[in-house]
Structures are given as C-alpha cells and as structure tokens.
Chains A and B, each alone.
Chain A
C-alpha cells in the first residue's frame, strides 16, 4: 500500500493528466453526441452577460454599416409599397358614337412631383411617350385645367402648370361665351389668376365661371378654370381685366387626365399655313 502511494506520488503528473484529460474528453464527447443544454456554453449567465456587455460597446463601432444596411432595407421596402409600382395597364376611354366623330380621349396619370410656390411651377406625371403622350397635350383634372405637357420620356412626362409665368390659356366666360385670355398673376398666389383681354362691352359679374374656350387646341371647350372674384384688377384700357379665383387646388393634385386631341395636329398645320400666308 505504501509502495503504491509512493508510486502514485512519484508519477503524480501523469495520473493528474489522465484524470483531467479523461474528464475533458468526457465533456467533449458527451456534449457532441447528445447536444444537451450545458452550463459550459456562451448562453449561461456569466458568459452571456460578458458577451452582452462587450456587445454594447462594440455595436458602436458598426453603427455606420448598420445604418447603411437599414437605409438600404428601407429603400427596398419602399420599393415594395403599392405606391412604388408603375401601373402598366392603361385604359383610354372611348365613347362609341355614330353621330359624332371622337375628338378627345383621356389618359389618366398620377402626379408624382408637384410644386406651387415657384414663379414657374412644373408637375411630373407617371405617364410618358410609351403611353401615347406627346409634347403640347393639355392636362386637366376632375375640377379644372392643370397645364400642358412640355417634355416626355418613356414613362414620365413634365407638365407646365397653370401656375407658370408663361401661362396663357384661351378662356371664355361660361354663359356669355365672351373670349379672353387667362394668365397667372405675378403675386405668386396659387389660388388667384387673371382674365385679361375681355372686350369692353361685356358686363361680367362676380362669381361668373371662367372656362376654356373653343379656340384652344390643348383643351376641350368648357373645362373650368375658376370664377371671377374681382372685376377691376388692373386697368387695361380698351379691355377688361378681372381677377379669377382658381377652381383647382394645385397643391393637392393626385390624378390628372392628359387630353389627347386627335385634331390638334390638323389645327396646328392649318394655323401654321395661315401664318405663312400672312
């Protein structure tokens, strides 16, 4: 017995090695074969807490890339929203009438960019040349005149709004059919316009509706522009000038209709020939 004890103590390193090595291997094999929940893992209280605390510090280092990825994900999710989709199917409304030949068709479009507070305002819509929109087409909405197309791409069109310094629309008083010219006033008021060039013998009254005239190639006749709000805006000498309260709230435009005038080209050609003759 004593000899055994001397033997063990002499080679204690080896025996200790065997004991601890066997227990380590036992833990290793046991864990690997049964995948038991064990205390020796990164999910126990101490190691978990340590990882958590260090993670709180190290997450500051990756904030930039995390922000970047979140922004990218936001962009992706925005792209999946219903409003991000370009609606491809498009219905032009035709009215089959045997008496009249159709002159105007309408293309519905959504306003995707708009401004009202500049001197020259433009609107962008989500229809373009692929949908049959060309330059110099009139644009209206359900409550009145909006503008006309100045530029198109394949899927987009740019509209010069009525709220533009160069706006000049052939207009008339709705019930008396007296002609005039509609301009946007220079006080940048998105609710006010001017009707100028009405002949002196006309007796307009406040509240009289102003609509598009039959002369314009852009718009069908009778589309509302506004109502007369002030009879004496600027003294125009031989002509009457009036202030017009606009019918359309341009800051709230959602959907507009592009007017396709089938006779516009002919009208232009014939008017160009007239100019040439003079």
Chain B
C-alpha cells in the first residue's frame, strides 16, 4: 500500500516535471503539443476510491495550470478525464478478477485493452482541453486538427513509456 503511494507520488513529480520543462517546449508546426502528464491519472490503481481519485486529478491539473498560467483549464479537463476513467473501467473490467492491487498498466492489462483505454481517454481529454482553451466556434476546424494531431502525439508518448516500463506478467 505504502509502496503504491510512493510510486504514484514519484510518478506525479516526474510527469509534471517532464510536462512542464520538456513537453511544454515541444510543438510540432504549432499543431501538435503533447500532454502525457495525464498518464498519472490513467495509471492510478483500479482500487483507488473516487473520493481520492477526483482530488488527485484536480491536483495534477491545477499543478500543470500553475506552470502553464492557465488556472482551471487543465484542472477541468483532468476532472473530466477522471470521470471518464471511472466509467470506462466500470464497463470493461470486472473488479474481482485481480489480486494485490493491480494497476491499469500495459504489462498487466495487455496491449489491446491498454491501447483502447489510453486512446479513448486521451481523445476525450484533449478534445475538452483544446476546445475549452480556444472556446470559439470560428476556429473549430483548426482546433480539431490540433486536437487530433496532439492526441496522436500524446498516445504515442504514453505507449512508449508503457513499453519502457514493461514487465513480463508473472501469473
């Protein structure tokens, strides 16, 4: 239990650090800007109670907001992401099948489930984020392109990190 908390705390710090000091500076043709920090919310254990999950999502959102000077924007997107995550897991995973606190990682859940999971959640998060950021119908087309390309970039980075920390299933 304490090990899980420690790992997630470390993950929080590392992801925010990389997001703020590395990925903030990356922008492909002003169209594709990755936000892989949402991996923190995606990789929280299945057993995380909602009363903890939502504050954590809000917290990492507001932390990134502080560095991006956009108070509330990422927090709102991350809260939505947490809600979608709860729904998605409720639909696709039966809770009793696992022992000792499994996490929704690539190594435990397999490629197909993990890919669908991060793809759907990233699309929703990015769609909400980009449209809330622009908040203008007239730029919808440009925003849509940005949202799609950024989602591809983010999913790519998250898959990469999933493969990087891949551990062979023991069971």
Tell me the bound Cα distance from A251 to B39 in angstroms: 73
Main secondary structure of the interface of B (DSSP, over half): helix
Query: Is B75 within 8 A of A16, CB to CB?
Result: no
Which residue of chain B lies nearest to A57 when distances are taken between CB atoms in the complex? B21
Query: Is B71 within 8 A of A41, CB to CB?
Result: yes
What is the 8 Å Cβ interface bit string for chain B, positions 81-108, against chain A (1 contact, 0 not)?
0110011000000000000000000000
A14 at the interface (CB under 8 A from B): yes
What is the 8 Å Cβ interface bit string for chain B, positions 39-77, against chain A (1 contact, 0 not)?
000000000001101110110011001111111110110
Contact pick for A27, options B68, B75, B80, CB 8 Å: B75
Given contacts A21-B76, A26-B72, A31-B72, contact A50 B51 (CB under 8 A): no
Total interface residues on A, using CB and 8 Å?
Answer: 28
Which residue of chain B lies nearest to A26 when distances are taken between CB atoms in the complex? B72
Residues of B near A44 (CB, < 8 A) are 66
B79 at the interface (CB under 8 A from A): yes
What is the 8 Å Cβ interface bit string for chain A, positions 20-45, against chain B (1 contact, 0 not)?
11011111111100000011111010
B132 at the interface (CB under 8 A from A): yes
Residues of B near A29 (CB, < 8 A) are 72
Closest CB of chain B to A65's CB: distance in Å? Answer: 15
Tell me the bound Cα distance from A31 to B132 in angstroms: 14
Which residue of chain B lies nearest to A46 when distances are taken between CB atoms in the complex? B66
Query: Is A16 within 8 A of B71, CB to CB?
Result: no
- The residues in A between 83 and 102 inclusive whose CB is less than 8 angstroms from any CB of B are none
Given contacts A12-B51, A17-B79, A20-B79, contact A27 B66 (CB under 8 A): no
Residues of B near A27 (CB, < 8 A) are 62, 71-72, 75
Given contacts A24-B58, A40-B66, A41-B71, contact A16 B76 (CB under 8 A): no
Residues of A near B71 (CB, < 8 A) are 27-28, 31, 38, 40-41
Query: Is B79 within 8 A of A24, CB to CB?
Result: yes
Residues of A near B132 (CB, < 8 A) are 28
Residues of B near A42 (CB, < 8 A) are 66-69
Residues of A near B82 (CB, < 8 A) are 17, 20
Cβ-closest 6 pairs across A and B = A28-B72, A27-B72, A24-B76, A24-B75, A40-B71, A17-B83
* Partner-B contacts on A (CB < 8 A): 12-14, 16-17, 19-21, 23-31, 38-42, 44, 46-47, 50-51, 54
25 CB contacts below 8 A, A to B, read: A14-B83, A16-B50, A16-B54, A20-B55, A20-B75, A20-B79, A23-B58, A24-B61, A24-B76, A27-B71, A27-B72, A27-B75, A28-B70, A29-B72, A30-B72, A39-B66, A40-B65, A40-B66, A40-B71, A42-B67, A44-B66, A46-B66, A47-B66, A50-B67, A54-B21
Known: A13-B50, A47-B67. 19 other contacts (CB 8 A): A12-B50, A13-B83, A13-B86, A13-B87, A20-B55, A20-B58, A20-B75, A24-B58, A24-B72, A24-B75, A27-B72, A28-B71, A31-B71, A41-B71, A42-B69, A44-B66, A47-B66, A50-B20, A54-B21
